[in-house]
Amino acid sequence: MSVPVLTFFNNKGGVGKTSLVYHLAWMLADMGYQVLACDLDPQANLTAAFLEEDQLEALWHSENEAPAKTILQCVQPLTRVGDIREPMLTPIPEPSLIPGCLALIPGDLALAGFEDTLSSEWPNALGSSELYRPFRILTAFSTVMQSGASQMDADVILADVGPNLGAINRSALIATDYIVVPLGADLFSLQGLRNLGPTLNGWRQDWQQRKNYWKEPEISLPNGEMEPVGYVVQQHSVRLNRPVRAYDKWVNRMPEEYARNLLDDQQGPYPAKPTEDPEHALATVKHYRSLVPMAQEARKPIFHLTPADGAIGSHAAATNDARQDFRALAQKIIERIGLREA
């Protein structure tokens, strides 16, 4: 039985996607879950959030060593005559307060080079007389993630992907059971929703068509459900030249656009604002201002900051608020995707 894969996806960048994955991975571990994070974004920002630069350098310069240490090292043999390599998970140091477990399949800046291979094999999954190789390549991310999840007996896999609609993300979404859509309060996020819905529908249908074409598959194929479980709005810091009404102008249109494009609900009526859309609006993530660089420097989530890290006074209160906010968000996601009680 496969481990559920939850991917955070929007083809609009700058909406706090990677930070969301990072903090939810830690929070789920705090709550007692075995969590595998996988960085499928060629920019590798999630990996950089977890690991120090010297660790990154060691990982990215070990491609000829076994076992594979990054997602690219796992799938790169497929570009030649080899097969997928087993991932060696990178454990994340666990403070004693964490009852669960957190591990990472690191990303790689060179992963973008795998895009051409994925693109060329997409049509071959329908037209080739030999189907094993195209399907093996197209499901490589799924194979690596499920292998890593099996190693650590994971409860859930959280995947971070880049802000685009390319072949890497298509293969990442093929491996995905559930999707959370991070949004910013701006026109670009609104347009991102309009692009995202038709793209996901097309990928689902195309993948099902390919699965049906291979009558007797020789490998396990992911379902590619890509079920939307909700959206998260990134709350921008309000400045004098950006009044609250400008924020509301865009954010209050999100429920309708999400329903129309992600849920294919063309009838309505639609909620007037996210606060009136509890079924789909998972949270509004606050702008934590100076806590963000503090957490990055300490290499830990905001809600793990201590007075020793500089979280005193109002910062300490904001840290507690962040803990409550992310725990509430994690609990909603747990319920939506049907995770067992930790």
Q: Is residue 248 part of a domain?
A: no
Boundaries of domain holding 134? 5-240+282-289
Q: Is residue 276 part of a domain?
A: no
Residue 27, Cβ density class (10 Å: 0-12 exposed, 13-18 middle, ≥19 buried) = buried
Q: Is residue 30 part of a domain?
A: yes
Measured distance between the N- and C-terminal CA atoms of the chain, rounded to whole angstroms? 18
Please give the pLDDT value at position 241: 43
Q: Is residue 261 part of a domain?
A: no
Q: Is residue 266 part of a domain?
A: no
Question: For 300-330, what is each residue's pLDDT tens digit?
Answer: 999 998 888 888 888 788 889 899 999 999 9
Q: Give me the CATH number covering residue 151.
A: 3.40.50.300
The number of domains in the chain is 1
Q: Is residue 121 part of a domain?
A: yes
Q: Is residue 277 part of a domain?
A: no
pLDDT at 66 over 80: no
Report the C-alpha gap between 180 and 25 in whole angstroms: 14
Mean pLDDT of 272-286: 90
Query: 198 or 67, which is more confident?
Result: 198
User: Are 36 and 145 in contact, with CB atoms under 8 Å apart?
Assistant: yes
Query: 37 or 97, which is more confident?
Result: 37
The separation between CA 227 and the C-alpha centre of its own chain, rounded to angstroms, equals 13
Tokens 């830690």 -> residue: 26
Using a cut of 0.85, tell me whether the model's pTM lies above it: yes
